[in-house]
């Protein structure tokens, strides 16, 4: 019996070590680890999806339900030689819906197929026109980009018209 317990502990330690190496050396968060981190750090009870953001800083983005049953998004930063950390979270009811963001983009003459993500940016001085916050990033079939403020629905950057 003691041998089985020791063997189980050794296997678990090896699995955790391999996942830690994967996060620190290769910069990815395994789905199970990411889900556990989102639950314990920010109360995501049920994970709907996990994806990587591609506009702005690269974060692992977790969509899910919190303990109160509200839709929530959490952005996790993968850190080299350290555990990932949650950099920001927001409940989806605090801003505009994806469908509203698409309608705003269409009013700005965006047409065709869309790539759309909810992104978080920490704000970079003198580098970006986006302040710290959450934005809907939409790219149309002609590679035009638009950034829409998640909270207000205001168009922040529209590469099609070169307006801010």
Give the predicted TM-score (pTM) of the model: 0.73
Distance separating alpha carbons of residues 132 and 123, to the nearest angstrom = 4
User: Could you tell me the two tokens for 160?
Assistant: 């099609």
CATH number of the domain encompassing residue 146: 3.10.450
How many distinct structural domains can be found in the chain?
A: 2
Residue 143 has pLDDT above 90, yes or no: no
Nearest to 156 by CA among 84, 138, 54: 138
Q: If 0-12 CB within 10 Å is exposed, 13-18 middle and 19+ buried, where does residue 77 land?
A: middle
Quick one: pLDDT at residue 149? 96
Q: What is the Rg, in whole angstroms, of the alpha carbon atoms belonging to the chain? A: 19
What is the reported pLDDT for 164? 45
| pLDDT tens digits, 68-127 | 888 999 998 876 666 778 889 999 999 999 999 999 999 998 877 778 999 999 876 655
111 and 49 fall within a common domain: no
Domain final position from 53, 70, 91: 91
| 37 and 69 fall within a common domain | yes
- 23 and 87 housed in the same domain: yes
């Amino acid at each position: 019996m003691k041998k089985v317990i020791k063997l189980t502990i050794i296997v678990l330690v090896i699995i955790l070590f391999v996942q830690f190496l994967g996060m620190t050396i290769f910069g990815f968060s395994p789905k199970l680890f990411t889900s556990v981190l989102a639950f314990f750090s920010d109360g995501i009870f049920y994970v709907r999806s996990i994806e990587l953001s591609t506009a702005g800083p690269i974060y692992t983005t977790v969509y899910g339900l919190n303990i109160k049953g509200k839709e929530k998004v959490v952005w996790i930063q993968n850190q080299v030689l350290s555990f990932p950390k949650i950099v920001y979270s927001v409940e989806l009811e605090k801003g505009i819906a994806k469908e509203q963001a698409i309608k705003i983009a269409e009013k700005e003459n965006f047409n065709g197929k869309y790539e759309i993500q909810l992104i978080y940016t920490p704000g970079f001085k003198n580098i970006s026109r986006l302040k710290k916050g959450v934005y809907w990033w939409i790219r149309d079939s002609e590679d035009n980009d638009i950034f829409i403020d998640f909270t207000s629905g205001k168009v922040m950057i529209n590469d099609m018209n070169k307006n801010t």
